[in-house]
Chains A and B, each alone.
Chain A
């Protein structure tokens, strides 16, 4: 079968660094994507890791370890506007995405 696990909730303070982990189990693994969704909004693409290692995009970074079936999203210099849900999604060789259940990040002043 296939599964993705990520924490349901994370809380951090403004200016801090937070890491959201994602472990997966799937066949035909191609890569790991991350999406952000604000309350009431549409998911928006943040990053993609097709290879092992770290990808950096501004304050956000994403990491993948294929051997450990594990990845994470790292958010630095947290801002209040980063309060949202974050989804990891496995990209399979079929071209489909399988989404995790999401992590709700609450940033406090």
Chain B
């Protein structure tokens, strides 16, 4: 079984809809991250959480919100989706001891029409 899972894997939604992307991990890591990847660009950090009670904005948090429901679960929401948010979204985890070594989920391909 995969250590980091993401649901859904693919999603097409319409402008203005609210959508939630979910991430679960079985690695026992405290830290979880949400990234966005666009063609030709690297991974950009949306939000990150170092433990259940700790949520922080990343580089591009506008238009997104997150919820850390448990140590193993970290959800990303798009409050009102816009076409500009069409991208590949990755969840990742790391330990506090080795934050530079992140483990990524398989990604969610989101299309906003």
Contact = CB atoms under 8 A, between A and B. Distances in A.
Interface of A: 4, 8, 30-31, 33, 41-45, 48, 50, 87, 89, 91, 95-102
Contacts of A89: 43, 100
B34 interface: no
Contacts, number: 54
B101 A33 contact: yes
Interface size class of B (residues with CB under 8 A): 20 to 34
B99 A95 contact: yes
Given A91-B99, A102-B41, 20 more contacts: A8-B40, A30-B100, A31-B100, A33-B100, A41-B106, A43-B90, A48-B98, A87-B43, A89-B100, A91-B100, A95-B99, A96-B48, A96-B99, A97-B45, A97-B102, A99-B35, A99-B42, A99-B43, A100-B42, A101-B41
B29 interface: no
Given A43-B90, A101-B40, A101-B42, A95 B50 contact: yes
B100 A42 contact: no
Nearest to A85: B42
Interface string B33-61: 00100001111110010100000001000
B59 to A, nearest CB: 8
Which secondary structure dominates where chain B touches chain A? loop
B68 interface: no
Interface of B: 31, 35, 40-45, 48, 50, 58, 90, 92, 96, 98-107
A42 B42 contact: no
B44 A99 contact: yes
Which of B101, B105, B106 has the most chain A CB atoms closer than 10 A to its own CB?
B101
Given A42-B106, A43-B90, A96 B45 contact: yes
B90 A42 contact: yes
B29 to A, nearest CB: 12
